[in-house]
Amino acid sequence: MNSSTTRKPIRKAVFPVAGMGTRFLPATKAIPKEMLPIIDRPLIQYAVDEAREAGIEQMIFVTGRGKTAIVEHFDIAFELETTMSERGKALDILEPTRAVPGDIITVRQQVPLGLGHAIWCARAIVGDDPFAIFLPDELMIGSPGCMKQMVDAYQEVGGNLISVLEVPQAEVSSYGVIDPGESRGALTEVKGLVEKPPVDQAPSNKIISGRYILQPEVMRTLENQGKGAGGEIQLTDAMARMIGSQPFHAVTFDGRRYDCGSKVGFVEATLALALEREDMSADVRAMAERLLKA
């Protein structure tokens, strides 16, 4: 490991957001699940803010039909801003939603063939650059954020990086799982990867938690990737095939993770973040205590 080596910086991130969000129906019938808010920010906004904090400039959304609200969210809302200005209202709350022209790019995943296929749909825009991936369902709260922690680790080791965290063994079959090698601080060498293994065959309880830094060669690997777990083209399978030819490390995220792809996780995230907000924590705490007594 040579910390003085200059790495090509991570400037691009891919956000696979084409999923139909069936677990949150009927809420997600007409709006994308990524637009569901945790308090007052949609999930996609948390992910984009985390990307920006890590120095990422170009956001590539892999969308599908019915997902245009995500792009609208990062546009300038001319009528809204004009009306608010005329009424003397501050616009700073909208600042993180106003993308620099050219920084939001969308491609369509026309058929739901899996996460690996969704990422492959962005290959022309990713080109020959290393890039990040964010799964917005996984809400990562930390200071610095998860991707910033990963970018810092990337400066040191380069290659491919995934964020991992430990879950109870009984839950591993819902995730991508790593076969861990040697560890040094937050970094663990990745010797193998398996998507959604049966509990008794999982190589560890360290799961891939929705953040990646990958080299562009993964696009070539995905090109001829067959179907894997669940009959889908799996990103995990393509990454597994790259181990050995490129450095591969896991970063144990120092922070909190909420699984906003599940209803209970979504409620937990809402409550946890509300309890941290200065403008509402006292009221929310009192409310929670009242509800628990009832």
Site residues (vs ligand G1P, CB under 6 A) = 115, 135, 138, 175-176, 195, 207-210, 234-236
Q: State the minimum distance, in angstroms, from the CB of residue 193 to ligand G1P.
A: 8
Q: State the minimum distance, in angstroms, from the CB of residue 230 to ligand G1P.
A: 7
Nearer to ligand G1P, 62 or 99 (CB): 62
Phi, psi of 199 (to 5 degrees): -50, -45
Q: State the minimum distance, in angstroms, from the CB of residue 51 to ligand G1P.
A: 17
Q: State the minimum distance, in angstroms, from the CB of residue 132 to ligand G1P.
A: 15
Q: State the minimum distance, in angstroms, from the CB of residue 110 to ligand G1P.
A: 18
Phi, psi of 167 (to 5 degrees): -125, 160
Nearer to ligand G1P, 135 or 251 (CB): 135
Distances (CA, A) of 257 to 36, 67, 87, 267: 17, 25, 39, 13
Nearer to ligand G1P, 104 or 208 (CB): 208
Q: State the minimum distance, in angstroms, from the CB of residue 195 to ligand G1P.
A: 5
Nearer to ligand G1P, 16 or 159 (CB): 16
Instruction: Give the DSSP per-residue string, 25-89.
Output: TTTTTTS-GGG-EETTEEHHHHHHHHHHHTT--EEEEEE-TT-HHHHHHTS--HHHHHHHHHTT-
Q: Which residue is nearest to ligand G1P (CB)?
A: 176
- How far apart CA 16 and CA 187 sit, in angstroms, is 25
**How far out from the chain centre does Cα 166 lie?**
17
Question: CB–CB of 114/232 below 8 Å?
Answer: yes
Element (H, E) at 281: helix 281-293
Nearer to ligand G1P, 97 or 205 (CB): 205
Nearer to ligand G1P, 97 or 120 (CB): 120
Question: CB–CB of 105/61 below 8 Å?
Answer: yes
